[in-house]
Structure 1
Amino acid sequence: MNLESPATLPNPASPKPLFGASLQDITRLMERLRQPMYRATQLHDALHRQRITSLDQITTLPIAIRQTLAAEGYVIGMPEIAQTARSIDGTERYLMRLADGETVETVWMPGGDGGERGDGTPAANEEENEDTLQVDDYKRATICISSQVGCAVNCQFCLTAKLGIRRNLTAGEIAGQVAAVLNRHKVEVGRDRINLVFMGMGEPFLNYAAFMDAVRLMVTSMRIPESRMTVSTSGIIPSIELFALEPIRPKLAVSLNASNDQVRERIMPITRKWGILPLLKAVASVPLRPRERVTFEYVLLGEVNDQPHHAAELVHLLWNHNAKVNLIVWNPGPDIPYQQPTPEAVEAFQQHLRANGIPAYIRRPRGRDIYAACGQLKRTIETPPPALVSITPA
């Protein structure tokens, strides 16, 4: 990130965002302003640990420095929650406005959606022992984060695909979604149990550098452990190979969604470039923490990929991988030509996997009534029918 000329923004005259800048970047800025180096630490801490939203609020910096920064066009630059929709199940979907006017969507799921079950981490233990945990004194929630404005992968069952791709998000815009939501809910990092899933709009591994910069920023400066983060990819093999070498990395989830290349190519055209077997080979190169499993996401589409022979093929693919499967009942959207599987088909699919030694869980749909569930994010700026939800300013 270059604080002197924000090339990541399309308009050079745009305000210069500070949120997301590394300590090294801020140190160079303070050097140019002829300030002592501890001022850089103060500013970086105010931005990312305290999550301050205005230069005026950074009282650790002298007024003169704040005025100089403002005069040079610097702003905090955290994404703004422009609209909020609330589901009957407590899920909240936010339309996030970025500095250049573009928008993405971010989701808050109190209690989570069960996606961590069986992955061998503390978050999974919390999910599996929810009834015995004392939750009165802390929040437990999952935040679903976007990594691009739109998406280029073109999965046929996903509303976001209809947007196409507009641009990548910067590291500050990715981490800034988290900061904005944490502020809204007054979350105390280190006490409250917050999980992050990079499963919103966009393919994180097609914006790999900014995604990983955001991860490192959140781990080192916002103090959110990477073991509480999960990144989902449709299968960008070169990025998976880079990911395997990262010393700091979230848990990995792969959107598989089919048991053979023929079906997967039809619903996920990216399969033409990277087939299932090369994808599984790349995933196997990613080192796992003790007891950790790779998650394979499988969206069940009625009479497309939900039949008994598909379950048998999936067992054959995954039997020698340290894997768990999250089954996701397809979440409908307008003009998407699929149907939900029957409850009987879902149960039979899950039981076949489990009977053959593969842990399989059915993810709870969260926020389906407000288009906040998996595959439903679409930069909603129009008001849905009143029967679904009332969208109000944040």
Structure 2
Amino acid sequence: MMAALFGKSLPELTELLTALGQKPYRARQLWDALYRQRVDTVDDITTFPAELRQHLTADYAIELPQMVQTAVSVDGTERYLMRMADGETVETVWMPDGDGVENTDDAEDSADHRADSRLTSSRKLDARGLPVDKRNWGALAEAGYRRATICISSQVGCAVNCQFCLTAKLGIRRDLTAGEIAGQVAAVLNRHRVQIGKDRINLVFMGMGEPFLNYDNFMKSVLLLVEGIGIPASRMTVSTSGIEPAIRRFAQETIRPNLALSLNASNNVVREQIMPITRKWKIEQLLDAVREIPMTKRDWVTFEYVLLGGINDQPQHAHEVLALLKGMHAKVNLIVWNPGPGIAYTQPTPEHVDIFQQTLIRNGLPTYIRRPRGRDIYAACGQLKRTVEPDKPAETLVQLTA
């Protein structure tokens, strides 16, 4: 395989080009081409002379992840199978108007969410899964889309083994590099012709893998996305199952996304049953680590809570959550469990979901229900599983409907 350019920092690019006898300003040109312009090939770097492009292509390639399959939900969500240079694959999700809970403390986002309208499932789509009469972001915005969220994977598979998650069944194959993590974003932005600075994009590191078990590559990808592509860290959220040492390390970072801790249970007994990682780090340890994160009055820590019927969805569980989070500047995102084959859980009843939410809200804890996106194409929370349609060639983009 050729060496990848995408994923290198500006100092790394400077070192590379200096070794080739180039002036330092060439590194800035390459940096801008990779991250601001998001070029696909070295030949697209028009600021470079032909001789330099030819020299680079002998040993280097951009190496963005390849979007080898896509599935399109009736709600407009798109799930992509992304292939890396070594053939490994992960899944990435595009949600045209978010899931209703990201940055819910942001007044501008909240106003946008109220104004959002979905594309109807009856609208004709082209081969890329985009409406035939609305093939770019600007047109989508005119149709009612004010923002979008990209859900990113950080590992091939996952080692955490949460019992309610399809990704856990894959086990762990390897970490993604910083370039492979940030490259998912670049590939999706290119597909939808997103203009950073004009169009509103949120990122959630909530796809396949545990970001804090791939901490260095995850944080390097954040810097590439902030300093290179130009997406503010305030519009990013990283979800962790609870890796205590990494949370404490995260608290020391100067540039960091918002944090979402996957709580999913109100006590250690239940949490250990559904999240075996609790045997290593108890809830109380995780909360102590979270409290080390410097926060302003505008900052919140999000706690995600997957509701499993009869397991963690009863009123007593809600009261235990209140006791755990008392005194914290926190909010809770409730996630009604998304079913998957071979997973022996059930969804809670709508009544139990409502009672749970209202119990938290009445006691002063802001609580939101995450709207399931792309459930019909296995793109919702906990459903990513490196899906390959057996009757479709890997190079074919496929459109699925419910």
Fold similarity call, TM over 0.5:
yes
2:2 counterpart of 1:15:
yes
SS of alignment partner, residue 116 of structure 1 = coil
Amino acid at match of 1:243: F
Q: RMSD between aligned alpha carbons?
A: 1.9
Amino acid at match of 2:252: L
CA contact (8 A) 1:139 1:194 kept: no
2:273 counterpart of 1:266:
yes
CA distance in 1, matches of 2:17, 2:216: 25
Give the match for residue 136 of structure 1.
Answer: 142
Amino acid at match of 1:277: E
CA contact (8 A) 2:6 2:64 kept: yes
CA distance in 1, matches of 2:391, 2:366: 37
Give the match for residue 31 of structure 2.
Answer: 44
CA contact (8 A) 2:116 2:146 kept: no
Q: What does 1:81-96 correspond to in 2, within 5 Å?
A: 81-96=67-82
Distance apart, 1:25 and its partner CA: 0.8
* 245 and 189 in structure 1: CA distance in 2 versus 1, 3 angstrom threshold: same
CA contact (8 A) 1:120 1:292 kept: no
Give the match for residue 334 of structure 2.
Answer: 327
Give the match for residue 98 of structure 2.
Answer: 112
CA distance in 1, matches of 2:100, 2:32: 33
CA distance in 2, matches of 1:315, 1:234: 19
CA distance in 1, matches of 2:279, 2:10: 41
* 121 and 283 in structure 1: CA distance in 2 versus 1, 3 angstrom threshold: farther
CA distance in 1, matches of 2:356, 2:399: 40
CA contact (8 A) 1:118 1:359 kept: no
Distance apart, 1:338 and its partner CA: 0.2
Amino acid at match of 1:102: E
Give the match for residue 130 of structure 2.
Answer: none
Amino acid at match of 1:32: A
Q: Name which of structure 1's ranges 230-239 and 32-41 shifts more when overlaid on structure 2.
A: 32-41
* 122 and 254 in structure 1: CA distance in 2 versus 1, 3 angstrom threshold: farther
Of 204, 215, 218, 1:211 maps to 218
Q: Name which of structure 1's ranges 84-93 and 117-126 shifts more when overlaid on structure 2.
A: 117-126
Give the match for residue 158 of structure 1.
Answer: 165
Distance apart, 1:288 and its partner CA: 2.0
Give the match for residue 31 of structure 1.
Answer: 18
Of 259, 263, 284, 1:256 maps to 263
Give the match for residue 65 of structure 1.
Answer: 52
Of 346, 349, 357, 2:353 maps to 346
Of 64, 70, 79, 1:78 maps to 64
Distance apart, 1:116 and its partner CA: 2.0
CA distance in 2, matches of 1:260, 1:124: 31
Distance apart, 1:136 and its partner CA: 2.7
CA contact (8 A) 1:121 1:292 kept: no
Alignment length, in residue pairs? 373
Give the match for residue 316 of structure 1.
Answer: 323
Distance apart, 1:145 and its partner CA: 0.2
Percentage identity across paired residues of the two chains: 65
SS of alignment partner, residue 229 of structure 2 = coil
CA distance in 2, matches of 1:336, 1:325: 24
CA contact (8 A) 1:45 1:221 kept: yes
Specify every segment of 5 or more residues in structure 1 that has no aligned partner in the other structure, as ranges: 1-13
2:164 counterpart of 1:178:
no
Tell me the alpha carbon deviations over residues 216-271 of structure 1, each in whole angstroms, 9 at most, x when there is no partner: 11111111000000000001010000110100000000000000000000000000
Amino acid at match of 1:309: Q
Distance apart, 1:56 and its partner CA: 1.1
SS of alignment partner, residue 221 of structure 1 = helix
Distance apart, 1:130 and its partner CA: 4.9
Give the match for residue 192 of structure 1.
Answer: 199
CA distance in 1, matches of 2:258, 2:220: 16
TM-score normalized by the length of structure 1: 0.91
CA distance in 1, matches of 2:165, 2:275: 10
Amino acid at match of 1:136: E
TM-score normalized by the length of structure 2: 0.89
Give the match for residue 86 of structure 2.
Answer: 100
Amino acid at match of 2:225: M
Tell me the alpha carbon deviations over residues 307-361 of structure 1, each in whole angstroms, 9 at most, x when there is no partner: 1110111111112111100000000000000000000000000000011110111
CA contact (8 A) 1:119 1:295 kept: no
Amino acid at match of 1:340: Q
CA distance in 1, matches of 2:297, 2:24: 40
Tell me the alpha carbon deviations over residues 39-98 of structure 1, each in whole angstroms, 9 at most, x when there is no partner: 111111100110000111111101111111111x20001111010000000000000000
Tell me the alpha carbon deviations over residues 281-308 of structure 1, each in whole angstroms, 9 at most, x when there is no partner: 1011111244121110000000000011
CA contact (8 A) 2:72 2:399 kept: no
SS of alignment partner, residue 273 of structure 2 = helix
2:359 counterpart of 1:373:
no
Distance apart, 1:121 and its partner CA: 6.6
CA distance in 2, matches of 1:46, 1:377: 31
Q: Name which of structure 1's ranges 228-237 and 122-131 shifts more when overlaid on structure 2.
A: 122-131
CA distance in 1, matches of 2:313, 2:43: 55
CA distance in 2, matches of 1:362, 1:104: 26
